[in-house]
Structure 1
Amino acid sequence: MSNPDTDQDQILIVEDEPKIARLVADYLQGSGFTSHHLDHGDAVLPWLEACRTRPELVLLDLMLPGTDGLTLCREIRQRWPAVAIIMLTARVEEVDRLLGLELGADDYICKPFSPREVVARTRAVLRRSRAASEPAATGSDLILDEEGWRALADGHDLGLTAVEFQLLKVMMHSPGRIFTREQLMDHMYRDHRIVSERTVDSHIKKLRRKIAETWPEREVIRSVYGVGYKYQPEE
């Protein structure tokens, strides 16, 4: 296993078929990435926990020994929202594809695939992920200080609670994506406590009010009737 703590772009390959893993790793290396390989689902979360610098993206097989890919997708998305996920699978049924994306996957590639396609998809997902997380150069934007658990609007600290910060971070990492209340609850409370959907609405209301104190004429958290909420920065 490679040392996960490097300064290069890192990709974690979670695949139990050695030939596929080697082929993808070779193409990623040839394209300027550093890859790490795990072949058992039970090893993934401990490996990520141990990383001082986590990989930018996980190529995640659906059918794995031990913990399956869908469960891992859910756990990775809840614990590390900034880590991008592309799911790899031989199961082409639409329900599997939709379920993977519902659990937080950024993209989905069906086997057999071209390794060049994997590299191209990896680059595309990373471009979207970085564009969503990089602050605007103008300084007139909403910026997350993830280490300090702060959100800054035009340089002003919004004074968010931990739950409010987590909600905002999840939505900002996927601008335009609609999150259901249930999905947001999973990110708010990782112990899976039972709360009502009105709890989400209450936290969103407080979060909007704090943003409005700095930006009274801008609405960046928008309701989608009958579904949930999304972060939609103004054009």
Structure 2
Amino acid sequence: MEVQEARRMHHAMIHEADRQVCPDDYSVILISKSLQQRRRIEALLPSQEFTVRAYSVIRVALCEIDECEPDLVILHDESLSESGLRSIHRVRGVTNVPLVVLSECTDEMTRVKSLQVGADLVISADECEEPFACQQIRALLRRVKIEREAHKASGRSITRGALQLSPDFQTVTWHGAPVDLTRSLFKIIHLLSERPMHVLTRENIQDLVYGDNGLVNERTIDSHIKRLRQKFRETDPDFDAIETIYGVGYRFRAEADSLSSESLMPLQA
């Protein structure tokens, strides 16, 4: 009993120390077909630190990730067979935020394959019962935060007339005013602004931004371009820098003094 009490107090002290070091409120999207596992994983994450939204259908979760990028994605898959590894790949197709995979099957080869296709951390079902699991997640989030701060210190930016864009921090301003974009919309404006006046077909945008994501088609690209324009017009009602070249695709029209010979080079697909 004394050993158990000492262990409980030790875990409590670690938990309190972690809360003091990591006061952030992280947004989490949890994907699991099992209601029991969703509840179990939610119980693992203290509500003071983690705001969890749980989904049983991966397609719905991917749409939510794309619309409102979380700080962390947790994917539960019982076997991590080919379908489970494909799910990891699908998540990676829409976001590069930390991805934690939980599974009942976590032999060495399964862990290696999961990491190879995009997982940042693989935790076994047994480990979910231990405080160490939450500590690993906190450590991953801290590492990512430190890396982002380092990128910020040395980060590059793209300026095209009134547009200023930071690829490292996914930030965009127009005439100095911030424009709040989802990850997908940021990818599109980043792609267009890298080669101003260069016309990109819908297929170009689909391939270069979304890769082999089966959820995206050319009509999706049109919808995203419309939303992208709306976002900029919330800041500047006269925004018209994204042009439609009918029958071809889209281009970003920059001011003449922001163009360079490099920006006019052909785009490499």
Q: Does structure 1 residue 110 correspond to structure 2 residue 124?
A: yes
State the SS of the aligned residue for 1:79: coil
Q: Determine what percentage of the aligned residue pairs are the same residue.
A: 19
Partner of 2:191: 162
Match 1:191 to one of 193, 197, 211: 211
Structure-2 separation of matches of 1:84 and 1:103: 13
Report if the CA contact (8 A) 1:58-1:84 is conserved: yes
Structure-1 separation of matches of 2:41 and 2:88: 20
**Aligned-partner residue type, residue 134 of structure 1:** E
Match 1:129 to one of 128, 133, 144: 144
- Name structure 2 gaps, 5 residues minimum: 1-23, 169-189, 195-206, 213-261, 263-269
Partner of 1:99: 113
Match 1:59 to one of 74, 81, 92: 74
Number of residue-to-residue matches in the alignment: 153
Structure-2 separation of matches of 1:102 and 1:136: 24
Deviation at 1:148, TM superposition (A): 4.9
Structure-2 separation of matches of 1:116 and 1:31: 15
Structure-1 separation of matches of 2:211 and 2:37: 35
Q: Does structure 1 residue 77 correspond to structure 2 residue 97?
A: no
Q: 1:131 to 1:71 in 2, by over 3 A?
A: same
- Structure with bigger gyration radius: 2
**Aligned-partner residue type, residue 78 of structure 1:** G
Structure-1 separation of matches of 2:111 and 2:33: 20
CA RMSD of aligned residues (A): 3.8
Q: 1:191 to 1:93 in 2, by over 3 A?
A: same
Structure-1 separation of matches of 2:117 and 2:41: 24
**Aligned-partner residue type, residue 32 of structure 2:** E
Deviations 1:87-127, CA, capped at 9 Å, x for gaps = 11111232221111011111101122225233212101101
Partner of 2:155: 142
Structure-1 separation of matches of 2:53 and 2:130: 16
Structure-1 separation of matches of 2:132 and 2:157: 32
Deviations 1:5-64, CA, capped at 9 Å, x for gaps = xx941111212232332132133134521111112333221222332xx21111111249
Q: Does structure 1 residue 24 correspond to structure 2 residue 38?
A: no
Q: 1:189 to 1:48 in 2, by over 3 A?
A: closer
- Name structure 1 gaps, 5 residues minimum: 1-6, 153-160, 166-186, 193-209, 211-235
More helix by share: 2
Q: 1:37 to 1:148 in 2, by over 3 A?
A: farther
State the SS of the aligned residue for 2:54: strand
Structure-1 separation of matches of 2:165 and 2:208: 14
**Aligned-partner residue type, residue 210 of structure 2:** R
State the TM-score, normalized to the length of structure 1: 0.53
Structure-2 separation of matches of 1:97 and 1:130: 24
Report if the CA contact (8 A) 1:11-1:33 is conserved: yes
State the SS of the aligned residue for 2:45: helix
Structure-2 separation of matches of 1:115 and 1:30: 17
State the TM-score, normalized to the length of structure 2: 0.47
Structure-2 separation of matches of 1:71 and 1:149: 32
Instruction: Tell me whether 83-92 or 27-36 shows the greater mean CA deviation.
Output: 27-36
